Amino acid sequence: MKQFLADHFEFFRQFRQRFETTGSIAPSSRFLARALCSPLARVGNPATRRPLRILEVGPGTGAVTRKVVSLLGPNDRLDLVELNPEFVTLLRGKLASQPGFAHAGDRVLVHQVPLEEFQSDTAYDFVISGLPLNNFPPDLVQKVFDAYFRLLGPEGTLSYFEYMAIRPLRKRIGPRPERARMSAVDAIIRPHLDTRRVRKDWVFVNFPPAWVQHLQHTAEDPSAPAS
């Protein structure tokens, strides 16, 4: 309980200071974490399946990371890309000593870098993202999606969430510049959903309630890395 409250306090503090990159007043619920990790959970017994590469983007205080770590096999690798230095310090501390994280510390690396600048010599089987896309300017949303599919393997799955109905509502209400920004963001995201989405999960037990989108490369996707 003490760690739970500490994580929520830190998340709220970062929300107040960095709303544009934190995006919520509370960490993701375990139900949202489960939905984001559901493609990974379905690939089989971690002890006997092939090694996997997993990328989590915007892990924050590690609410989703805890679920990812619980699904890691002995030869899997997990990379965490987090820009906020306070969250980076918190994550590294958990991986070094906290129950639920430390047992997998040798298989997890934390990178303090913007996603669009992150490089990897191997494509990922799963990309799991907690970035608050609806808070970003359109040009950054475009760069983020370019990075998602640059890093995602040809048969991999991208899973990310957005809060229910936020973008449709912001497109219709609020100041004109905000409506224009949301329309531009929607114009970037919508084609990905129309052509690449394989599933959509509804998570009501979260604050706020969320949609989880699961996307994959299309059969003739030019952005897919070579196998």
Q: Given this model, what pLDDT does residue 129 score?
A: 98
Flag whether 8 is in a domain: no
1 inside domain: no
Report yes or no on 227 lying in a domain.
no
Q: State the pLDDT at residue 227.
A: 55
- The domain total for the chain is 1
Confidence (pLDDT) at 14: 45
Structural domain contains residue 165: yes
Whole-number pLDDT of residue 16: 42
Q: What is the domain extent for residue 148? A: 28-215
pLDDT confidence of residue 28: 85
Amino acid, single-letter form, for residue 143: K
pLDDT value of position 162: 94
| Confidence (pLDDT) at 174 | 84
Residue 196 located in a structural domain: yes
Look at residue 188 and tell me if it is in a domain: yes
Question: Would residue 153 count as lying in a domain?
Answer: yes
Q: What CATH number did the domain enclosing 68 receive?
A: 3.40.50.150
Q: Give the count of alpha carbons within 13 A of 81, CB side only.
A: 22
pTM score, whole prediction: 0.86
Q: What stretches in the chain show pLDDT beneath 70?
A: 1-26, 222-224, 226-227
Residue 94 in any domain: the answer is yes
Q: Write down the pLDDT at residue 222.
A: 66
